[in-house]
Amino acid sequence: MFLYRATLNAVDAAIKARQWLKAVQMLAVLMKPEVQSYYKKIAQHHGNMGEYEVQIIFSISTFIVLYADDILLLAPLIVALQGLLRVCGDELSSLDMHINTKKSACLRIGPRHDKICATITTRYGCKLSWVDEIRYLGVFIVRSILNSNALLTMLNAVFAEQQMGFLGK
């Protein structure tokens, strides 16, 4: 509990010092509902700076699922997905890496799964294609009316099974 409180104090100090990235990095390890108020402060800062895509990321529930070098971005809005892609692209660029657009694609899930979507582009202007199915960690995810909460539940189950070794070939 002491470490948790100390981390929140450090987040407060980072926000007061306007060190937004440092605050986000510290919040990422906490993963508790109590940190939502901090995300709202960070979202407000990005909105004031005119960085609306980034503001949306911190204002709504978006998810980044990482496993080794595989990244799955989940967002309830296309503009939030574009913002997540931008943030990931910026972070990868700082590590002298990039998003492989030949292996990357977008998939829409939910009631509007069959509607035409806006183009999603990387920071270098490369377009990602919209597809009917993707494969992530051996699991096929198809374009459907399934909502993102159900998708997260399914992915959590898959990860739990993989860690326990229950998945077959």
pLDDT at residue 158 greater than cutoff 70: no
What is the pLDDT at residue 169?
Answer: 28
* CA–CA distance, 69 with 124 (Å, rounded to integer): 20
pLDDT at residue 163 greater than cutoff 60: no
Token match 């069959």: residue? Answer: 114
Instruction: Please list the residues that pair with 65 across neighbouring strands.
Output: 72
Tens of pLDDT, residues 5-54: 787 788 889 888 888 777 777 776 665 556 667 777 777 877 788 776 66
Cα separations in angstroms, 121 against 75, 92, 100: 15, 15, 12
> Which of 80 and 127 is assigned the larger pLDDT?
127
Cβ within 8 Å of residue 73, ≥6 positions away: 62, 63, 64, 65, 81, 84, 85, 88
Cβ neighbour number for residue 117 with a 10 Å cutoff: 13
What's the rounded mean pLDDT across residues 159-165?
Answer: 49
What's the rounded mean pLDDT across residues 100-120?
Answer: 86
* CA–CA distance, 79 with 43 (Å, rounded to integer): 15
What is the pLDDT at residue 28?
Answer: 66
Q: What's the whole-number average pLDDT of the chain?
A: 76
> Which of 44 and 93 is assigned the larger pLDDT?
93
Tens of pLDDT, residues 63-76: 777 778 888 888 87
